[in-house]
Amino acid sequence: MATFKKRRKKRIANLLHAKMHYLHENNISFANFRRLGYLMAFLGGAINAGGFFAVGYYTSHMSGAMAMAADSLYLKEWKVALTAFLMLLSFIFGAAHSSWTILWAKRQRFRSSFGLSMWLEAMYMLAFGLLATLLNKFGDEYLLWSPTLMTMCFIMGMHNTVMTILSNGVVRTTHMTGFATDIGIELSKILYYRRSDNPKLPDVQVNIPKIKLFSGVMASFVLGGFLGAWGVNLIGYQFVWPVAFVLFLIGFTSIGYDVKLRWRIWLYHRHRKQRRANAQKKYTSNQLSLNNAATTITTPLTHSEDKIIMNIGIVFGSNDGGAKSVAEYIAKNFEHQLVDAKELTADFLNAHSQLIFVASTHKCGELQADFKAKLDLLNQTDFSNKTMALVGVGGSVKHPDTFCSGLTEFFPAISAARIVGETELADCPYKYDESLAIRNGKFMGLIVDMKIDDTWKARADKWAEQVKLAFAE
């Protein structure tokens, strides 16, 4: 029973990890993450083999280069010593370039920091293929040989850095010496005599998963080296094309995620600008009509008419019932008409001048599916004379980087409306990395994470009172 629960917990953890749509630092215990380590080691072996056939040096590790530099200095072979030092510097600069790219992308709030580094490495691989082809065609001239060698060292530095940062230093994909040492240490523990019930003997624990991981990485490196050598001898330096393609493919998901996210932000700002312009034109037109009117008859509202105006239209979109529960609770504070987003109609929207949308966020920051299906209807509705409030329901623990970001999809359609109920960032009790639901330093509306917040109802009551006053203005 305990084994079943352990396996079930592991499957759930892997499932949650799979829902992260971009490469990020994580524990190497995830199966998919280990497979990425094997693949990167495989590519490292292939690149290393290709470099050897091009320049006659293995460029995956710098121990040999440093030893060569020391020997050459003693033998006064200054040219060879200089070459060794340049190899070391190229490797260091490649690692620094990759790390700087990752840090820069994170600073710009890109999720594709590691994918971007892989794409740059793929481009440098294509440059290496061109240099190696020219070197093979025009002979062993130092003018071509030296840049080709330094390019290979630079690429290997980049390649090793990506997986080193991703795995928090556990996996290195260009040199196997440390892995061989660690496997030897674990094997010694297997051979060591131990009895766990004897207090006088040390209890030596063997890390079997570590042996499997490092053995897999080493085997992948050897297999990659074999196929790299075979590919160079079979098709020449065109072998860099499939290697570069795999690197492009690995980084594509992360970069595609970023492109999709930035496209949505751009559309949001563009539609918002258009809506504001249209609303201004309509407002100007209405003002002219009022000024040209001969008389204006003003009749005080009766109590029943006031009830009609304060009859709030509340729309919810929910997959698992969370947003529905929040909507039903908030609705108790208003004279309201509650409707599911899948049943939303143009008549309902036109019948209410005050509206509250309660929506959950799913996948990579996307609006709930029923609301998403009604975006065309919202785009066709005139919101210029409406007052609206928004409520976002999301998971700050499960989706900290897209927390309640689905609310942004409303704004291209409702930007002409008067938005009320915005909340201060300081009033949000949740920890999250990023949210597109923040506008002008405030959340677009009430933000709720029901799964970890026992006080959300009190916050909802306070928010509803503020919205009541804003609707009455």
Q: Do 248 and 328 belong together in one domain?
A: no
The answer to whether residue 73 is domain-embedded is yes
pTM of the model: 0.57
Q: Compute CA 453 distance to the chain's CA centroid, rounded to the nearest angstrom.
A: 25
Going by their DSSP bridges, the two strands 354-362 and 366-367 should be labelled as: antiparallel
Supply the range of the domain harboring residue 438. 306-472
Q: Do 196 and 74 belong together in one domain?
A: yes
Count: domains in the chain = 2
The answer to whether residue 165 is domain-embedded is yes
Q: Do 71 and 183 belong together in one domain?
A: yes
Which position has the token pair 């995620």?
257
What's the confidence (pLDDT) of residue 17? 39
Q: State the CB neighbour count (10 A cutoff) for residue 339.
A: 16
Q: Do 79 and 193 belong together in one domain?
A: yes
Q: Do 67 and 150 belong together in one domain?
A: yes
What's the confidence (pLDDT) of residue 92? 92
Q: Give 256-282 pLDDT, tens digit per residue.
A: 888 887 787 787 777 767 777 777 777
The answer to whether residue 163 is domain-embedded is yes
Q: Give 193-228 pLDDT, tens digit per residue.
A: 665 566 666 677 788 888 888 899 999 999 999 998
Q: Do 252 and 312 belong together in one domain?
A: no
The answer to whether residue 327 is domain-embedded is yes
Q: Give 136-180 pLDDT, tens digit per residue.
A: 777 665 577 888 888 889 999 998 898 888 887 788 888 888 889
What's the confidence (pLDDT) of residue 166? 83
The answer to whether residue 297 is domain-embedded is no
Q: Do 254 and 310 belong together in one domain?
A: no
The answer to whether residue 7 is domain-embedded is no
Of 260, 294, 327, the last residue of a domain is 260
Q: Could you give the 3-state DSSP secondary structure of residue 447?
A: strand
Answer whether residue 94 shows pLDDT above 80.
yes
Q: Do 62 and 149 belong together in one domain?
A: yes
Of 234, 260, 286, the last residue of a domain is 260
Q: Give 387-407 pLDDT, tens digit per residue.
A: 889 998 988 888 887 788 888
- Report DSSP letters for 379-426, one per residue: HTS--TT-EEEEEEE--TTT-TTSTTGGGGGGHHHHTTSEEE--EEGG
The answer to whether residue 5 is domain-embedded is no
- Report DSSP letters for 151-208, one per residue: HHHHHHHHHHHHHHHHTTTS--SS--HHHHHHHHHHHHHHHS---TT-TTS--PPP-H
Answer whether residue 301 shows pLDDT above 70.
no
Q: Do 246 and 364 belong together in one domain?
A: no
- Report DSSP letters for 360-377, one per residue: EEETTTEEPHHHHHTHHH
Answer whether residue 328 shows pLDDT above 70.
yes
Q: Do 216 and 316 belong together in one domain?
A: no
Percentage, residues of the chain above pLDDT 70: 84
With beta carbons less than 8 A apart as the criterion, state whether 395 and 451 touch: yes
List the structure tokens of 246.
């795999």
If pLDDT is split at 50, 70 and 90, which confidence band does 97 have? very high
If pLDDT is split at 50, 70 and 90, which confidence band does 294 have? very low
What's the confidence (pLDDT) of residue 254? 82
Answer whether residue 5 shows pLDDT above 60.
no
Q: Give 433-468 pLDDT, tens digit per residue.
A: 778 888 777 888 898 888 888 888 888 888 988 888
Q: Do 334 and 459 belong together in one domain?
A: yes
Which position has the token pair 């704004």?
411
Q: What is the CATH number of the domain that holds 166?
A: 1.20.1250
**Mean pLDDT of the chain, nearest integer:** 80
Q: What is the CATH number of the domain that holds 365?
A: 3.40.50.360
Instruction: List C-alpha distances in Å: 435 to 107, 258, 414.
Output: 15, 14, 19
If pLDDT is split at 50, 70 and 90, which confidence band does 315 have? very high
The answer to whether residue 2 is domain-embedded is no
Q: Do 231 and 324 belong together in one domain?
A: no
Of 260, 287, 322, the last residue of a domain is 260
Averaged pLDDT, 56-82: 87
Averaged pLDDT, 375-386: 86
With beta carbons less than 8 A apart as the criterion, state whether 100 and 229 touch: no
The span from the CA of 444 to the CA of 446, in Å, is 7
